[in-house]
């Protein structure tokens, strides 16, 4: 099979650093001209774009040992540290072994009460607003999911810290994705990228261009230390598990820095992705009132006005399907990047060691060969009993052994949030609002989602 090659000029490379639409236009042009594997050349760097399920299964599962986290994650580690999201090798394996059992389906029920307590407090705040008041769904969901994650995983109320933590995380993520794209396009020496997190942390705060990142690190470190310091000893939540964990060989406790890095990872991955998925859901429900009406009817039929439990989440099948469909159309983790640890062959073409592989999840989710009428918002795709597309056509939480450990947690959390909010409120898109995707580490609405809040009588 002939390998399609796309060459990108200098101006196009620079444009691709800044807006999601420009990146998306490039990927859509590539997808229209190939069967799932394209080589992109530009400047010193070249990389491959892959989106067909058969190839993704090879990269993420059957030959996953040949594909490691890319250097871009080393740049993200500047902010979040060496947690599950960014670590590799034995460190990742040992941390995953400690953390994964807590998120098994049989244990998710114990999180539900913490979730509904946080959601209930949020509902009470919104209840103080007047009918017709303006809200930003994106900001609101970030505040809410941060509190939910804080209570469920760390035993801490984070709603009061959201005003401090949210803006610095946003600026850190935006800068991280810019640096990652520069790395992808201009191919700096691997040793420099590998050492970037340590070099940035050790650099004086007055170093030109680094003052802002030190502000980010100082604020996030302060919040995490407050959470750890105020945590009750012996708690069985995630933080308690991390603090109590002991190395099976040495008996030593997990280093404080490692605890900090795992907390940062879950604060980011545990609230940022769900918040963005929910923000896009409210946008889609507002623009598809027939779907919203069915969500509201199901919630009323199942709950009859009461607070949901973990068991109710399994009964709210249309509500969960609407959220999963929102994740298909606007996947928070909109792209995945891997690097070949060794040479491999894809579609008969040799891929050298050290090559970047870009998986555009956004495009994989809109592949017309696998998703009929792919741009249409249709939750029926995810109802029980419906035929599903190939396994790697849907990757909102990644795939393979590095699939998000909290995927089940996120779906249950979102289902409970949707149910409790539609019991009390309707959100309408503000007239004239322009909603534009922005690709940082996650796919978020660039200027939020301005909406009008109406109370349900």
What residue ranges do the domains of the chain occupy?
A: 4-455
Give the per-residue pLDDT at 216: 76
> What is the rounded CA–CA span in Å between residue 298 and residue 285?
14
> What is the rounded CA–CA span in Å between residue 313 and residue 328?
20
Give the per-residue pLDDT at 14: 44
> What is the rounded CA–CA span in Å between residue 412 and residue 115?
9
pLDDT along the chain (457 residues), means of 10: 64 48 61 72 75 92 88 70 84 86 82 93 97 96 91 79 66 60 58 63 67 75 84 81 78 85 82 92 98 98 96 96 97 89 92 89 89 95 88 91 90 97 97 87 88 94
Containing 222, the helix (H) or strand (E) segment is helix 211-229
What pTM was estimated for this model as a whole?
0.87
Q: What is the CATH number of domain 4-455?
A: 1.10.630.10
Nearest of 110, 95, 86, 90 to residue 259 by alpha carbon? 95
* Exposure of 34 in the CB half-sphere (CA atoms within 13 A): 24
Give the per-residue pLDDT at 185: 57
Containing 67, the helix (H) or strand (E) segment is strand 67-69
Give the per-residue pLDDT at 121: 95
Give the per-residue pLDDT at 36: 79
* DSSP-based three-state secondary structure for 294: helix
* DSSP-based three-state secondary structure for 7: strand
Give the per-residue pLDDT at 92: 86
Give the per-residue pLDDT at 263: 85
């Amino acid at each position: 099979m002939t390998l399609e090659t796309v060459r990108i000029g200098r101006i196009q490379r620079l444009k691709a650093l800044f807006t999601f639409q420009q990146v998306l236009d490039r990927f859509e042009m590539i997808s229209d001209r190939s069967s799932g594997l394209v080589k992109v050349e530009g400047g010193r760097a070249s990389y491959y774009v892959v989106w067909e399920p058969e190839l993704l299964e090879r990269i993420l599962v059957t030959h996953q040992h040949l594909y490691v986290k890319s250097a871009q994650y080393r740049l993200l580690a500047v902010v979040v540290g060496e947690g599950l999201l960014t670590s590799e090798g034995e460190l990742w394996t040992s941390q995953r072994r400690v953390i994964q059992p807590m998120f098994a389906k049989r244990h998710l029920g114990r999180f539900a009460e913490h979730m509904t307590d946080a959601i209930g407090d949020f509902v009470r705040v919104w209840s103080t607003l007047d009918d017709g008041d303006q809200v930003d769904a994106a900001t609101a969901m970030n505040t809410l999911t941060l509190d939910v994650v804080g209570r469920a995983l760390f035993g801490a109320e984070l709603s009061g810290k959201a005003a401090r933590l949210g803006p610095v995380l946003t600026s850190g993520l935006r800068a991280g994705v810019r640096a990652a794209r520069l790395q992808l396009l201009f191919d700096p020496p691997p040793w420099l990228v590998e050492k970037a997190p340590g070099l940035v942390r050790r650099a004086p705060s007055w170093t030109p261009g680094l003052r802002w990142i030190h502000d980010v690190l100082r604020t996030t470190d302060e919040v995490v230390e407050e959470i750890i310091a105020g945590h009750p000893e012996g708690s069985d939540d995630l933080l308690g598990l991390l603090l109590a964990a002991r190395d099976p060989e040495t008996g030593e406790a997990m280093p404080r820095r490692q605890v900090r890095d795992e907390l940062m990872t879950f604060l980011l991955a545990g609230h940022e992705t769900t918040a963005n998925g929910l923000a896009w859901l409210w946008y889609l429900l507002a623009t598809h009132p027939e779907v919203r009406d069915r969500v509201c009817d199901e919630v009323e039929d199942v709950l009859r006005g009461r607070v949901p439990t973990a068991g109710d989440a399994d009964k709210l099948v249309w509500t969960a399907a609407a959220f999963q469909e929102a994740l298909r159309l606007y996947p928070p983790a909109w792209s995945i990047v891997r690097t070949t640890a060794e040479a491999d062959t894809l579609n008969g073409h040799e891929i050298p060691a050290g090559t970047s592989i870009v998986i555009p999840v956004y495009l994989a989710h809109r592949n017309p060969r696998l998703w009929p009428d792919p741009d249409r918002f249709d939750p029926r795709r995810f109802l029980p009993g419906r035929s599903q597309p190939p396994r790697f056509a849907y990757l909102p939480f990644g795939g393979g052994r590095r699939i998000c450990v909290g995927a089940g947690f996120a779906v249950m959390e979102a289902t409970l949030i949707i149910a409790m909010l539609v019991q009390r409120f309707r959100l309408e898109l503000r007239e004239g609002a322009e909603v534009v995707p922005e690709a940082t580490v996650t796919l978020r609405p660039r200027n939020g989602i301005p909406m009008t809040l109406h109370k349900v009588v």
